[in-house]
Amino acid sequence: MSLSSRMIIVLTTVGLISGGFLAGVAQLTKERISLNIQKEIEEAIVEVIPGTTQNKKLYQEEDFTIYSGQDESGSTTGYAVQATGIGFQDKITLMFGIDDSLKRITRITIIDQKETPGLGAKITDWNAFLQFWEDRDASGQLTLRKPPAGSLEDLLPSEINTITGATISSQKVLEIVNLSLEKLKKIISEGKIAVEGHDVN
Amino acid sequence: MELVAIFISAVLVQNFVLFYFLGICPFLGVSKKIDSAFSMGLAVTFVMSITAVVSWLINNLILIPYSLEYLQIVSFILVIASLVQLVEMFIRKISPPLYQALGIYLPLITTNCAIMGLALIASLNEYGFVETVIFGFGSGLGFTLAIILMAGIREQLDLADVPEPLKGAGIALIVAGIMALAFNGFIGMLT
Amino acid sequence: MSTKSIGAEYLKGLWDENPVFRQLLGMCPTLAVTGTVITGLAMGLATTFVLIFSSLVVSSIKKLIPAQVRIASYIVVIASFVTIADQFLKAYFYPISKAMGPYVPLIVVNCIILGRQEAFASKNSAGRSLIDALGMSSGFILALLVLSTIREILGAGTFLGYQIMGAWFKPWTIMILPAGAFLTLGVLLGIALAIERKTMRN
């Protein structure tokens, strides 16, 4: 057998065996992987709308998804909005919960971020940032409180605390949420999704 | 002007060497003289730009439509290995002195994490075709920029009194650290 | 064909021929994922998996592969095991996989692995190659642990996520940043060489 034929046969065999092997592994892990991604979203929804046990996807476009949350009895607990926008370093993906009056933000959680470690990355920290998002007034736009207030009680209902040393990351999160609120209200007023009797004005 | 943002980000803000830590082997190995650094940078930029195109095509025309994403790693690295082989033969033909100058580093471009990293990151960010090309070209330039800067500094360092244990890779890494700090200043440039 | 004793075959990977500190290989992942100990450890274990199985396969089939296509063949073998490691992490350790980003697939271009196939597995028996792979992996994990421990403790005051520095400690944020990785590795390399010179003089 000539050298060239041998080379081709060897390479093809190695390729085929690897390919087959990998296809098998991919089959075995495929379900678990998509479950992991799904689980992440479900956990986020439960976190941002307290009391939720199930959810329904109401609306989806690129970088923006709306879910509704229900408790065991099936009544609506609120809505969760997942949005991706530009942060300081790279994209930020977050989810915030809004109650069924659509006037109050229940909580937010950061799903994906690549901000500066130790500084901007503190947007994922409960003590430094996330706790100040609890129970915010969402009837209008939210604003940033600079310099940061000492505690949650010192903030106005529509204000968010900035993280010291990470003003821009904090601001970017605020922008994403404000933009999402506008989008949410617009989508509802256009009747694109069914929300139990709402006059969003 | 999202394309401009991707380009500037690749060259400065998220520089492949100083931010993503890709391409360290050639970065440390070929950065001793500005000429060879420049040549290496050019070769890498060339391979990266072509890899960007080919990897996007394979990813979007074959892997994703046929649900073969798990073959990404194997197909990307094979493409890169072949491309480098081709570039090597090409350079050997049109410029033997350049070929000599780059020596063993040319085949080593295959294991240059920067090229593989480029294909993977572009795929992760789900860039479109044009965006991937700009990203590939920009990253190559970023690598070239970093390696030339490093060579310039090292040429001066040769004349300085560096402690024995730090000579070579040690001091090069420390210099890279300071450069990374400097480049940190570019963050937020695009906001 | 190597003639070292089994013990020496293993131990060389830890110090004398430590892939990171002495051979200066595999620095991309060493710098990239050592911001925290958990990611450093995950990278070390994933690389160990790839190195061990690649070495076993390559040393077992080395006689069947014509020299001209050996690099291509090694690459396919390595890339396959990297894919398996990546899929496994995504399925069973999703948060860690996300934290490591594109660096697990990048194991395929970790010079340590291809280097060992070319320098050792293709010239030695499967048994020896296994010991060599274990030694090199241990050396690599050692380097990753040293670097990530320094970076996490000084950069965030934690170890494996647990706060170990008291409130008095203001973290050196630079340690978690790329700059900190470069600086720390540079200093560690200097220390390693200094120790080497001293022991040589004695």
What is the DSSP track for A134-175? TTEE-SS--EEESSPPSSGGGS-TTEEEPPTT-HHHHHHHHH
- What pLDDT score was predicted for residue A11? 83
Chains interfacing with C (3 or more CB pairs < 8 Å): A, B
Interval C46-50 mean pLDDT? 93
Interval A180-196 mean pLDDT? 81
The answer to whether the Cβ–Cβ distance between A11 and C73 falls below 8 Å is: yes
The answer to whether the Cβ–Cβ distance between C108 and B117 falls below 8 Å is: no
Residue linked to tokens 């200093």: C187
Is residue C165 within 8 angstroms of chain B, CB to CB? no
The answer to whether the Cβ–Cβ distance between B70 and A88 falls below 8 Å is: no
The answer to whether the Cβ–Cβ distance between B71 and A22 falls below 8 Å is: yes
Interval B54-72 mean pLDDT? 87
Minimum-distance CB partner of A18 among B14, B74, B187: B74
Could you give the CA distance from residue A98 to residue A106 in angstroms, rounded to a whole number?
A: 5
Chain A closest-CA separation from residue B169 CA (Å): 26
Mind listing the pLDDT tens digit for each residue in A14-23? 888 888 889 8
111-140 of A, contacting C, C-beta below 8 A: 112, 116-119
The answer to whether the Cβ–Cβ distance between A23 and B70 falls below 8 Å is: yes
Chain A closest-CA separation from residue B33 CA (Å): 33
Instruction: Give the single-character DSSP code of A148.
Output: P
Average pLDDT over chain A, rounded to whole? Answer: 84
Cα A146 to the chain's mean position, in Å? Answer: 25
Beta strands C162-163 and C158-159, pairing class: antiparallel
The answer to whether the Cβ–Cβ distance between A22 and C83 falls below 8 Å is: yes
Q: By three-state DSSP, how is residue A37 classified?
A: helix
Chain C closest-CA separation from residue B122 CA (Å): 10
For residue A93, the cross-strand partners are A84, A112
Chains interfacing with B (3 or more CB pairs < 8 Å): A, C
Which burial class, exposed, middle or buried, applies to C126 when counting CB atoms under 10 A from its CB (0-12, 13-18, 19+)?
middle
The answer to whether the Cβ–Cβ distance between C106 and B117 falls below 8 Å is: yes
In chain C, the percentage of residues whose pLDDT exceeds 70 is: 99
- What pLDDT score was predicted for residue A53? 84
Could you give the CA distance from residue C189 to residue C123 in angstroms, rounded to a whole number?
A: 30
Mind listing the pLDDT tens digit for each residue in B122-180? 888 888 899 899 999 999 999 999 888 888 888 888 888 888 888 878 888 888 888 88
Average pLDDT over chain C, rounded to whole? Answer: 86
- What pLDDT score was predicted for residue C41? 92
Residues in chain C whose Cβ is within 8 Å of chain A = 35, 64-66, 68-69, 72-73, 76-77, 79-80, 83-84, 87-88, 90-92, 94, 98, 155-156, 171, 173, 176-177
Interval A182-198 mean pLDDT? 77
- What pLDDT score was predicted for residue B111? 66
Chain C residue with CA closest to B111: the answer is C109
Query: CA separation (Å) from B6 to B122, B142, C32, C101?
Result: 11, 12, 21, 19
Cα B179 to the chain's mean position, in Å? Answer: 16
Minimum-distance CB partner of A33 among C64, C90, C156: C90
Q: By three-state DSSP, how is residue A100 classified?
A: coil
Q: Are C94 and A40 in contact (CB under 8 A)?
A: yes
Q: Provide CB contacts within 8 A for B5, sequence distance 6+.
A: B190
Please list every residue in chain C whose beta carbon sits closer than 8 Å to the beta carbon of residue A10. Answer: 64-66, 69, 73
Q: Is the peptide bond before A147 cis (omega within 30 degrees of 0)?
A: yes
Minimum-distance CB partner of A33 among C64, C91, C177: C91
Query: CA separation (Å) from C48 to A156, B53, C55?
Result: 54, 32, 10
pTM of the model: 0.83
Residue linked to tokens 């109650």: A99
Stretch among A107-111, A135-139, C90-94 having the lowest mean pLDDT: A135-139
Kindly tell me if the per-residue pLDDT of A182 is higher than 60.
Answer: yes
- What pLDDT score was predicted for residue B171? 85
Chain B closest-CA separation from residue A133 CA (Å): 24
For A189, other C-beta atoms within 10 Å of its C-beta total 12
Could you give the CA distance from residue A35 to residue A40 in angstroms, rounded to a whole number?
A: 9
- What pLDDT score was predicted for residue C137? 92
Please list every residue in chain A whose beta carbon sits closer than 8 Å to the beta carbon of residue B74. Answer: 18-19, 22
Is residue A21 within 8 angstroms of chain C, CB to CB? yes
